[in-house]
Amino acid sequence: MVKSEKPALLYLSPVIPALTGNGLAMRAGTVLECLAQRYDVHLLVAPLYAPFTSHMPEALQKMCRRATFVSTRPQPRGWLATVDVWRETQFDVVHVFRLSMVTFSDPYLGPRSRRPRRHLDLDDIESVTRRRLAALYDQNGDSVRAAHEESEAARHEILENDAFGRFDRVYVCSALDQQKLEGRTRGSLHVLPNAVRLPAEVPERTAEGIFTFFFVGTLGYYPNEDAVRYLCAEIVPRIRALAGDGFRVNIAGTGASQSLRRDVNMAQVRFLGEVADLHTWYAEADAVVGPVRAGGGTRIKILEAFSYSRPVVATSIAMEGIEARAGEHVLVGDTASDFAQQCARLVTDRELGSRLARNAFTLLLKSYTLQSLANALDQMDQQDRG
């Protein structure tokens, strides 16, 4: 292996990084791309979530010095074998993506005399998100899962407090999450924003006549499943009452249960399931909807809608952490009635949608591109040197 002039960075991830698709995998991909500009990246993936993709894009693969995907189930033999080989490398930085990967970082941290710098990327404060999930389950009448999520929230808070004492840098994806963690971390706390790649071209609207709303997300994730049920059961009928039947809703995403598929089988709603090319469906969309009622971090799918210059109607939780203002960049509705009214406004006022999309695209260029992410890393490095 030819020696690199860049410092060596070990990137530990629970998902295979991706260019598009699932937001978690996209976060892994965009951060990897920016780190590869300044480090010799060694990627080690231990898939801890349902697989969002079975392979890594060639463009990202080429950015890595080496990339290995290992299983930790049923016994971590594959992981341990990889550890024995990889810890021969002296890493300058160990970058851990997500709290779940912290325990896997121990073999690589080295003796104190040559300890690498330790960076933890928390795109989500899981103790907070788990409590929100508990509240959502409780709201939907599922007390058993609500109690489980409350227990998980308490467990994750303990894990967070332990991890915060072991890392030199902790990354979060928004200033809001930074405020939530102030005083809890030993190392420096930085905002490393979520980012999206701009499409090669912004598609012109292709569908004719009928106004089309678009929802896209991983439907095996409960907040997204709930959002789709909420949209179909409570919001769509209200839009129909306000705007007639001159609209439809397209729903795309992986992991939908059979019961969800049955529940969205209704007039004016088209369930697409997993789609190979989101570009096609954004081209058909007049607006993107995000009726999410729980979750954490910032929604990359909202930023993706901005990148396609499509106006967005969302809840406050869906917009949390994104520096967008209601009425200027997006329309916000936190009840079914308010959400439907905002959707109906777009059906009847095309100029409103165009103005929101232009403003949101400008905001994206300012704060949520790969260059924004790179600038944030540059600023952190300057602070460390200064």
pLDDT for the residue 103: 86
* Topology given in CATH for the domain delimited by 8-195+369-385: Rossmann fold (3.40.50)
DSSP 8-state assignment for residue 330: B
**Residue 223's closest CA among 311, 123, 299, 125?**
299
Where the chain has pLDDT below 50, the residues are none
pTM to 2 decimal places? 0.91
Cα–Cα distance list, 167 to 5, 96, 262 (Å): 25, 10, 46
Whether residue 315 contacts residue 293, with contact meaning beta carbons closer than 8 Å, is answered with yes
Q: Tell me the backbone φ, ψ of residue 357, rounded to 5 degrees.
A: -65, -40
211-367: same fold as 8-195+369-385? yes
Residue type, 210: I
Which distant-in-sequence residues (6+ apart) come within 8 Å of 60 by Cβ?
17, 18, 19, 29, 32, 33
pLDDT for the residue 386: 63
Domain boundaries, the chain: 8-195+369-385, 211-367
DSSP 8-state assignment for residue 209: S
Q: Tell me the backbone φ, ψ of residue 235, rounded to 5 degrees.
A: -95, -50
Which distant-in-sequence residues (6+ apart) come within 8 Å of 383 by Cβ?
188
Return the CATH superfamily for domain 211-367: Glycogen Phosphorylase B; (3.40.50.2000)
pLDDT for the residue 203: 76
pLDDT for the residue 107: 80
**Residue 9's closest CA among 17, 216, 33, 72?**
33
Residue 168 structure tokens: 């030199």
Q: Distance of alpha carbon 293 from its chain centroid, rounded?
A: 15
Whether residue 285 contacts residue 211, with contact meaning beta carbons closer than 8 Å, is answered with no
Whether residue 54 contacts residue 31, with contact meaning beta carbons closer than 8 Å, is answered with no
**Residue 335's closest CA among 291, 271, 280?**
291
H helices of the chain, in order, are: 23-36, 58-61, 77-86, 126-139, 143-164, 175-181, 222-230, 236-243, 258-263, 278-284, 300-307, 316-319, 336-348, 350-367, 370-385
